[in-house]
Amino acid sequence: MSGFSDLRNCLSALLGLLIGTQAVQAQQAPKRIVLPPALAEVSGMVHTPSGELWMLNDSRNPSELFRYDPVGDSLLEVRTLPIPNRDWEDLTSDPAGNLYIGDFGNNNNARQDLRIFRYNPVTGSLDSIRFRYPDQEAFPPPAHQDWNFNCEAFVYFQDSLHLFSKSVFKSDHVTKHYVLPAQPGVYVAQLRDSLVLKNRVITGAALSPDGRTLALTSYMARWRWGFIPCIRMTAYFFTDYSGSAFLQGKRRAKRLPRFLFFRQYESITWWSDNTWLVANESTQLERPAVRTFRGEQ
């Protein structure tokens, strides 16, 4: 019996090793994955603590969440939610498994119905957080260069939601850091901080699982030879900050994968170790895709 027991233990250990190896390999997403047409305007994604990758499209699209497997390059599930998609722009999650849908896109700086939906894909519970900015008095502000009440990026951290504004191109390119409770209700957001990022506007945000690295995607649109659109794209990594003073941390910049003319990265999420995923919307010249890249050490 002892020999059989030893054999069983050996086989069990071998099986555990194989499963562990597969789990590690499962984290190694391909360098580039072309997304299906259903995700042509992907603007938010999050890799949840449970290991799922959820994605969403922005305005003018159905109110749907997509569960996607970048390793197997497979669309696993589409969830239709009974809420409007006024302008969904980003997606984040908390340790309890809730997904937060940022319906705060505000290109014209005129919205007064900004909200974040909280949805649990396991229980189906759904509620919302309504808010306004403390420093916005006109909808929109009279001067176009003061239009800095659009938002396309946020993260969950320490029971709060942290939003990062997107300025207009003809401005001082300031991103403002606002904070909201991650609980249903109606709030005035707290303006926590701000930072000038020269010639860049913010389009996505993600936080590493240990909360020690904040990543922001950004871009700046320009014209080549006066008629060909081109974009410069950068990921900023913030580390060594105290608490949630993200923008006060050490900042490093990394150029995102280029394209000959036009590519617009709208979302980012941590994947594994120092690997991150970024997603771009489709254009007339390029299909929507997710790419992996190494972050800053």
Summarize the confidence of residues 24-42 as an average pLDDT: 80
Summarize the confidence of residues 200-226 as an average pLDDT: 90
**Alpha carbons 85 and 60: distance in angstroms, whole number:** 7
Q: Which tokens go with 172? A: 């001082």
pTM of whole model > 0.75? Answer: yes
- Residues comprising the chain, all counted: 297
Q: Which tokens go with 148? A: 């800095």
Mean of per-residue pLDDT scores for the chain: 88
Tell me the domains of the chain and their CATH numbers. 37-294 (2.115.10)
Best-predicted range by mean pLDDT (14-18, 49-53, 253-257, 261-265): 49-53
The pLDDT tens digits of the residues spanning 226-275 come to 766 667 889 999 999 999 999 999 999 999 877 655 677 899 999 998 89
pLDDT exceeds 90 at position 291: yes
The pLDDT tens digits of the residues spanning 114-152 come to 999 999 999 999 999 999 999 999 999 999 999 999 999
pLDDT exceeds 60 at position 168: yes
Q: How many CB atoms lie within 10 A of CB 252?
A: 14
pLDDT level of residue 283 (50, 70, 90 thresholds): confident
pLDDT exceeds 60 at position 12: no
Q: What's the per-residue H, E or C state across 211-234?
A: CCCEEEEEEEEEEECCCEEEEEEE
The one-letter amino acid code at 226 reads G
Question: In the β-sheet with 53-57, what is the strand arrangement from edge to edge?
Answer: 42-47, 53-57, 64-69, 74-80
Q: How many CB atoms lie within 10 A of CB 230?
A: 16
